[in-house]
């Protein structure tokens, strides 16, 4: 089943977000196999997401958006992921880059984010994330010059790069005494100092177009720096990012796992199945429920609206559990379906490949376990990421 079913209250042209999402799913699903096989970016689907108004789903109603918050955005992304994992994962990067300033506007009264949110609503600009290469340690080089900085960087894993208008990123500035800080800013993708290098040849999520963005000697005025922080150390803004971004990103992988389960069940339901297959199906259902419960826990943590080291810990525990069990679901789905799962035409092997991406987002299992263990034992966590 592809669509959302719960009633929502947000409207665009008289249609709820549920209706808007369901309206684009058949076309997105129809294109999923071809973009995967041809290793092409899901650009046509981005056009569809703009036309539907879903690009502005996370912008507060007061600023011209649809007012969706993290639980509803998660359902939207999960539903899209059932149709096409690549479209959902790429779009989750825009979605969380909208949801973060929207949360700060609502709950922290940060007025500085309002112009960006209004632009997303009125112009339907696409925001890009360089989170894969810009986690707590930061990446790239910022050189101080008169009135600002010169930036040189390679930003890897920039999903949806070809469709983006602004890359939300940062660069490392090193003081003469060796102290390192990270400055954060937006990069207009149309700048002549910015280019995209086609590097995305991958096992799964082939349609995300997560290519490298190259920044060469770009000038960033002092006034365009949103904030700065110590490199390699958690900052309050990153606690907000951790709280908001990962329930959205992992909603995608949960959607892929749900799709794998549905495909496998459909493939074998009409057959005379052995006790072995029935047992595999039961294990698959159990793993899926574990992933769903873990994701629900992430959303419960978000609902507290209390970004902190504890919140990061709880969200990242959820992230690890969703990843672990979602991967288990797809592995078991392949076994339930048997040899037929090996054929591309069934879509199950694409789910199997796409779900592998769940392994690689922060915080990966080693760092997450170190963080959780340190938190439990009352040890410092500010440099664990």
Closest to 263 measured CA to CA, from 365, 360, 337, 357: 337
Residue in this structure with the two tokens 């990061």, named with its chain if needed? 312
pLDDT value at position 268?
Answer: 96
CA distance 1 to 105: 35
Q: Of 230, 258, 281, which marks where a domain is finished? A: 230
Q: Are 127 and 98 a contacting pair, CB within 8 Å?
A: yes
pLDDT value at position 131?
Answer: 76
Residues 119 and 174 in one domain: no
Q: Of 200, 230, 260, which marks where a domain is finished? A: 230
**Which pTM does this prediction carry?**
0.96
CA distance 353 to 332: 13
Residues 240 and 338 in one domain: yes
| Inside any domain, residue 5 | no
Residues 210 and 256 in one domain: no
| Inside any domain, residue 384 | no
Q: Are 231 and 173 a contacting pair, CB within 8 Å?
A: no
Per-residue pLDDT of the chain (385 residues), as tens digits, is 455 544 445 556 668 999 999 999 999 999 999 999 999 999 999 999 999 999 999 999 999 999 999 999 999 999 999 999 999 999 999 999 999 999 999 999 999 999 999 999 999 999 999 977 789 999 999 999 999 999 999 999 999 999 999 999 999 999 999 999 999 999 999 999 999 999 999 999 999 999 999 999 999 999 999 999 999 999 999 999 999 999 999 999 999 999 999 999 999 998 888 999 999 999 999 999 999 999 999 999 999 999 999 999 999 999 999 999 999 999 999 999 999 999 999 999 999 999 999 999 999 999 999 999 999 999 999 999 9
Residues 302 and 175 in one domain: no
Residues 40 and 88 in one domain: yes
- What is the domain count for the chain? 3
Burial status of residue 30 (CB atoms within 10 A of its CB: 0-12, 13-18, 19 or more): exposed
| Inside any domain, residue 97 | yes
pLDDT value at position 9?
Answer: 52
| Inside any domain, residue 133 | no
pLDDT value at position 8?
Answer: 45
> Residue 277's domain spans which residues?
236-376
Residues 370 and 274 in one domain: yes
CATH number for the domain spanning 219: value is 2.40.110.10
Long-range contacts formed by 114-123: CB under 8 A, 24+ apart: 114/63, 116/166, 116/186, 117/59, 117/60, 117/63, 117/65, 118/59, 118/63, 118/64, 120/55, 120/56, 120/59, 120/65, 121/56, 121/59, 121/63, 121/64, 121/65, 122/64, 123/165
pLDDT value at position 10?
Answer: 57
Residues 241 and 371 in one domain: yes
Residues 86 and 108 in one domain: yes
| Inside any domain, residue 265 | yes
pLDDT value at position 5?
Answer: 46
Q: Of 69, 101, 125, which marks where a domain is finished? A: 125
| Inside any domain, residue 241 | yes
pLDDT value at position 15?
Answer: 84
């Amino acid at each position: 089943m592809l669509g959302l079913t719960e009633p929502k209250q947000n409207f665009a042209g008289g249609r709820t977000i549920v209706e808007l999402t369901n309206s684009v799913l058949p076309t997105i699903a129809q294109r999923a196999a071809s973009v995967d096989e041809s290793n092409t970016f899901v650009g046509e689907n981005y056009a569809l997401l703009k036309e539907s108004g879903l690009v502005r789903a996370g912008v507060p109603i007061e600023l011209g958006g649809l007012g969706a918050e993290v639980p509803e955005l998660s359902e939207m992304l999960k539903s899209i992921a059932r149709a096409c994992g690549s479209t959902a994962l790429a779009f989750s990067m825009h979605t969380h880059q909208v949801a973060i300033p929207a949360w700060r506007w609502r709950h922290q009264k940060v007025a500085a984010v309002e112009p960006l949110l209004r632009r997303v609503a009125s112009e339907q600009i696409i925001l890009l994330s360089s989170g894969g290469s810009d986690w707590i340690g930061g990446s790239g080089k910022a050189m101080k010059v008169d009135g600002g900085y010169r930036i040189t960087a390679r930003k890897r894993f920039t999903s949806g790069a070809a469709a983006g208008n602004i890359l939300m990123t940062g660069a490392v500035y090193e003081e003469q005494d060796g102290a390192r800080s990270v400055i954060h800013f937006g990069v207009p993708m149309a700048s002549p100092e910015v280019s995209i290098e086609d590097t995305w040849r991958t096992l799964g999520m082939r349609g995300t177009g997560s290519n490298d963005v190259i920044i060469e000697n770009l000038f960033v005025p002092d006034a365009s720096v949103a904030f700065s922080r110590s490199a390699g150390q958690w900052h309050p803004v990153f606690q907000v990012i951790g709280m908001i971004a990962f329930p959205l990103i992992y909603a995608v992988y949960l959607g892929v796992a749900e799709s794998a389960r549905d495909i496998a069940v459909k493939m074998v339901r009409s057959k005379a199945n052995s006790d072995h297959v029935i047992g595999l199906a039961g294990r698959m259902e159990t793993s899926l429920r574990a992933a769903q419960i873990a994701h629900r826990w992430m959303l419960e943590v978000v609902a507290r609206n209390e970004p902190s080291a504890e919140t990061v810990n709880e969200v990242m525990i959820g992230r690890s559990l969703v990843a672990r069990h979602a991967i288990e679901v797809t592995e078991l789905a392949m076994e339930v379906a048997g040899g037929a799962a090996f054929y591309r035409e069934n879509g199950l092997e694409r789910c199997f490949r796409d779900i592998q991406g769940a392994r690689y987002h922060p915080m990966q299992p080693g760092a997450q376990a170190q963080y959780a263990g340190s938190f439990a034992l009352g040890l410092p966590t500010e440099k664990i990421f």
